[in-house]
Amino acid sequence: MIVLRNLTKVYRLHGRRKVVMDRVNAVFPTNVSVGLLGRNGAGKSTLLKMIAGTSDVTSGEILSDGNISFPVGFSGSFHPDMTGAQNTRFVARIYGVNTQSLSDYVQDFAELGTHFHLPIRSYSSGMRSRLAFGVSMGLSFDTYLIDEITAVGDATFKRKSRAVFLDRMERSGSVFVSHSIGMLREMCQAGAVLEDGVLHYYDDIEDAIKHHAYNMRVQ
């Protein structure tokens, strides 16, 4: 379970103040996949980073009774001068899992070939995302944070990514960001809509999709 309590996030850029989250209160239940919807720039990725602890909140707090993944698709925690293999082994040591087992899994899953042993700075954005997804799926979390990752790669890789994700969801939950309504319907049971700093949570993903569709019609 993840609890957002009076969560506020404010950016100040070039003298302008942008409120991404305005005293938000919400509960994401245990073992439920929640589709997070909102227009571009609404703050969906920022919310994932705050839940993961990679971005500070302005005020309020985020509470959880389980372990949470880093945002899949966000590779900012990787060291650019280390190889994919070195980064994978480093993450394995952080989470206390067997380094060789995780490395073998990620190398096979991410399909990076010889690039797995090259520095991250030489990767394309898609390669970084595949590495991040492989590392995340190779670890056991109570909640996975997913940011558009299953859209990366060819049709075969997409099918594999979905199959692995659905397998993990049999015993875990997720907060899932995607612009694909079809994917949200396939992957999620519940939904949340972020708009103008306000988050609305729905037990049924269809209700969240309807709310988001209305927001997109009302510009």
Alpha carbon distance, N-terminus to C-terminus of the chain: 33
pLDDT tens-place string over residues 34-68: 999 999 989 998 999 999 888 899 999 999 988 89
219 Cβ partners below 8 Å, 6+ apart?
Answer: none
pLDDT for residue 164 is more than 70: yes
pLDDT for residue 180 is more than 90: no
Q: Which amino acid is at 57?
A: V
Give percent of the chain above pLDDT 70: 95
More confident residue, 194 or 136: 194
What pLDDT shows up at residue 149?
61
Both tokens of 161, joined, read 């990514």
| Domains of the chain and CATH, by start | 2-196 (3.40.50.300)
| CA dist., res. 128 & res. 169, Å (int) | 23
Q: Is 0.75 surpassed by the pTM of this model?
A: yes
| CA dist., res. 29 & res. 186, Å (int) | 18
Both tokens of 69, joined, read 């993944």
| CA dist., res. 3 & res. 61, Å (int) | 8
**Longest C-alpha distance within the chain, in Å?**
52
pLDDT tens-place string over residues 59-88: 999 999 888 988 775 556 789 999 999 999
pLDDT tens-place string over residues 183-210: 899 889 999 999 999 999 999 999 999 9
Both tokens of 29, joined, read 């239940």
